[in-house]
Amino acid sequence: MPTSLPSWSRWLLAFIAALLVGTLLGSLVQTQFNLLAIQSMGFPVPLDVRLVTSAQDLLFFGPVFAALFGGSFLVSQPLALLINRWLSPLWHPLLCALGAALGLAVTLKLVDALAPMPTLIAATRSASGTLALLACAALAGWLFARWRPYRSTRPVRSPLATSAVLVLVGALGFLSEPSSSSESADYRIETVAEGLEHPWSVAFLPEGGLLVTERPARLRHIDAQGHLHAPISGVPEVYAQGQSGLFDVLLANDFERSRRLYLSYACGSHSANHTCLARARWQDSALREVEEIFRTRPAKTASAHFGGRLAWLDDGTLVMTLGDGFDYREQAQNVSNHLGGTVRLNPDGSVPADNPFRSQTGAAPELYTLGHRNVQGLFFDATSGTLFSHEHGPKGGDELNILAPGGNYGWPAVTHGLDYTGARVSPYKQWPGIRPPLWHWTPSIAPSGLTRYTGTLFPEWEGSLLVGGLASRQVHRLTFTDGVITEQAPLFGELKARIRDVRVGPDGAVYLLTDSPEGKVLRVTPD
């Protein structure tokens, strides 16, 4: 470093220069591991695409990594220099390198523990990716030790604090999302039931009233008079943590006679869990003859991306949506398992003879479609024979799709979304043979719940798709004409509530579930 500068300036320049080197190399490492994953799924990445993606990640992922690495660097290097007081100067570069690597490792563990997702930086899903990032940090620490002034081993706090401010500024642009206002309409919203803990799904009973699932493993009955009953006993054992829990409830086609219903839920433990499907008979405020008829394979860790929506097709088979388990996203392109797919089953859980992958060697016979991230919206339109679904993207790239047997919907090799860090999940937004979305949302609305309005109370909404939004805190009404979405309009934004489910009742009213510890069932009718 130049010796004509004041000592504190040389300290600051050494810190910033080392930080920039570590950030540059860390961003490049993250990108190459992502692209390696894309290649492993059979999607080639030529040199020009690799270079462009690396540059994009440096621009958008780089500031986020700089903030994380910069914070750990700001702590680790003064500690290393403090220890250096009792060692020979020959040990200084090694100690700073080890300190930088250890500091980043601790930071990554802390961020993953605090973040809603299991793993924030995708490259760290593997041991090799983690070691590569730590090696970048170690090199930055070694360079800092070599470039800093040697006359004093006292850490200079003021310049280092200044540098921390510089590296944190770059991350600020990732923290905000635009909002939208609700379209004007003549309707009123009444509360059917409240005090529900994270309600997830609703089913309408033929005798009147509702069944509602609560994510913490409770099934509730709301009778025709609006009375909320105590939880129904006999619910199968549910793994309820994070995003996991009790999900959808679906009545059998002959429910009025058989009183059979179906429940989707997370089962297992944090270290080995699945999305499961059970059927049961509801009698005398209890579930009887409870039978698990399907569970996904393989088992996965953590508590994210389970899917869980259910729908009947017109041939009497049942479709269940699944998720990729977050840290297993590449498995969404693997037909040998269920992760990131949807499955089609007979009412008893057996495999339909005409399932699209049943005759393929090594494929999971239950698989119906693949290439999904986390499907939390499903609706079969009996009039047109169309199966609609939607799924969560990461940072943008939420998708609305029409599901076709054997269809590949691209995730994670083809997506409009970015990782939460700003890194590219994939360089590709389209690919031959990959079914494009009917609609996509960027920024993300976090869609949950899906229906098509076919009632008589709101004739102006006839044929519209209604999509609940968790992040957007409203319902999105999509005009669907001749197979194309022609318009999107927001509804019920005045609620400022996370919308978990949206359904059209037998009375033509729109029913909403709000996702909160004090969730509600709401009924929307004309004013």
| DSSP code at position 374 | B
- Whole-angstrom distance, CA of residue 458 vs CA of residue 462: 7
Six token digits for residue 323: 């998720």
Q: Residue 155 corresponds to which amino acid?
A: P
- Whole-angstrom distance, CA of residue 229 vs CA of residue 223: 8
Helix (H) or strand (E) holding 158: helix 157-169
Within 270-418, strands assigned E span 272-283, 286-295, 310-312, 318-321, 341-345, 367-370, 375-381, 386-391, 398-402
For the chain, how many residues are written? 527
Contact, 242 vs 302, CB < 8 A? Answer: yes
Of 274, 305, 372, 476, which residue is the catalytic one? 305
> 228 has which bridge partners?
222
Closest to 422 measured CA to CA, from 170, 179, 163, 243: 170
Contact, 340 vs 372, CB < 8 A? Answer: yes
For the question of residue 305 being annotated catalytic, the response is: yes
**Sign of the CA dihedral running 71, 77, 79, 82:** negative
Six token digits for residue 357: 């992958």
| CA separation, residue 185 to residues 365, 449, 458, 461, 479 (Å) | 46, 21, 10, 11, 16
Residues identified as active-site: 305
